[in-house]
Amino acid sequence: MEVFVQTLVAGVLKGGLYALIGIGMTLIMGVMGIINLAHGQMMMVAMYLTYVLFHYLGIDPYMALFVSMPSLFLLGMFIQRFLLNPLMKVESILPENQVLMTVGIAMVLTEIARFIFTSNYLSVQTSYSTKAWYVGEISFSAALCVAFAFAALLSAGLFGFLVKTDLGRSIRAVSQDNEAAQLMGIDSERIKIITMGIGAALVAAAGTLLLPIYYLFPDIGGPFTRKAFVITILGGLGSTVGAIFGGVTLGLAEAFGATYIGMDYEDMVGLIIFILVLLFLPGGFKRLTKV
C-alpha cells in the first residue's frame, strides 16, 4: 500500500511538470496546426541556460526562471517569425512541411549544444536537490513539489490569460477558425509568433524546474519531444485542459511502470500508453490533418 501511494505521489508530481511541457506543445498545435518537433530541444536550451547561470554565476535555478523563460520566449518568437512563418507564404509548400522544419531546428539546437558543452552529462546540485518532506512514510521530493507548484501557478496564469484578455481570446480565435479571426481584425501571423513564444517559455520553465533533480546532455531534447507528443495526443490534440490530463497520465504511467515493472521500462510504458490511445482513441488525430 505504501509503495502504491508513494508511486502515486511521484507520478502526480512529475505529471505536473509534464503538463507544463504538454500545454506549450498543445497551444502551438492549436494555433499553428502543426506539431512542434523541436519542443524538447527548446527545453534543452533552457536547461543549459539554467546550468550556465548556476555554474558560472551561482544563480539558483528558481531565480533562473526569470532568465530562461523570457529568453526562450524570444527564441520561440524568432523561430516562428524567421523560420516557420516564411514557409507558410509559399503556396507550393504544404503546411505539413513546417513540421520538417521543426525537425531541422531540433537538430541544429542539439548540435549547437554539443559543440559548446560536448556530450558530457552535466547536473546542478542544489541544497534541495535530494531534500524530501515526509508525511507518514510517504516522501515528497522538495524540488518536485516546488516544480509542481510552479507548474500549477503557470497553468492557472495561462488559463486566466487565454480566457480573460483580448490577446488570449485572439489566440483561441485563431486556433478555432483562422480565416474568421482575420475578418475580426486579428493578425494571425503575429498571433503565431506570440504563441510560439509562450509555448517555448512554458517548456523552458519545465526544463529549469527539472534541472535540480535531473541530468543534462545535448540529446535530452529528443525524449522530451516524444513525451510532449505523447501528452498532446493523450490530451486530444489542441486541448489545453486535455494536456494537463495527458501530462498527469503520462507521469503516473511512468511512475507505475518504473515501480512495478522496472526502472528501465519507464519510457516503454509511456509509449505503450501512447500506442493504446492511438488504437482506441484515435479521434484526436483528425485535428492533425484539419489545418
Q: Is 176 in the site for another protein (CB under 8 A)?
A: yes
Rounded to a whole number of angstroms, the minimum distance from the CB of residue 46 to another protein is: 30
Q: Please list, residue by residue across 209-238, b when 16 or more beta carbons sit within 10 angstroms of its beta carbon and e when fewer do.
A: bbbbbeebbbebbbebbbbbbbbbbbbbbb
Rounded to a whole number of angstroms, the minimum distance from the CB of residue 236 to another protein is: 12
Rounded to a whole number of angstroms, the minimum distance from the CB of residue 175 to another protein is: 9
Site string for another protein, 238-277 (x = CB under 8 A): ----------------------------------------
Q: Is 144 in the site for another protein (CB under 8 A)?
A: no
Q: Is 170 in the site for another protein (CB under 8 A)?
A: yes
Site string for another protein, 82-101 (x = CB under 8 A): ---------x----------
Q: Is 185 in the site for another protein (CB under 8 A)?
A: yes
Contacts of 194 (CB under 8 A, 6+ apart): 77, 167, 171
Cell of 21: 511541457
First-residue to last-residue Cα distance in the chain: 47
Q: Within a 13 Å sphere around the CA of 17, how many CA atoms are in the beta-carbon half?
A: 25
CA–CA gap between residue 179 and residue 56 (Å, rounded):
48
Which residues inside 150-169 make contact with another protein, applying CB under 8 A?
Answer: 166, 169
Rounded to a whole number of angstroms, the minimum distance from the CB of residue 198 to another protein is: 18
* 84 touches 196 (CB < 8 A): yes
Q: Give the interface segment with another protein, choosing from 70-78, 94-102, 122-130, 175-183 (CB under 8 A).
A: 175-183
For residue 14, with 0-12 CB atoms within 10 Å meaning exposed, 13-18 middle and 19 or more buried, which class applies? buried
Q: Is 177 in the site for another protein (CB under 8 A)?
A: yes
Q: What is the binding site for another protein (CB under 8 A)?
A: 91, 166, 169-170, 172-173, 176-177, 179-188
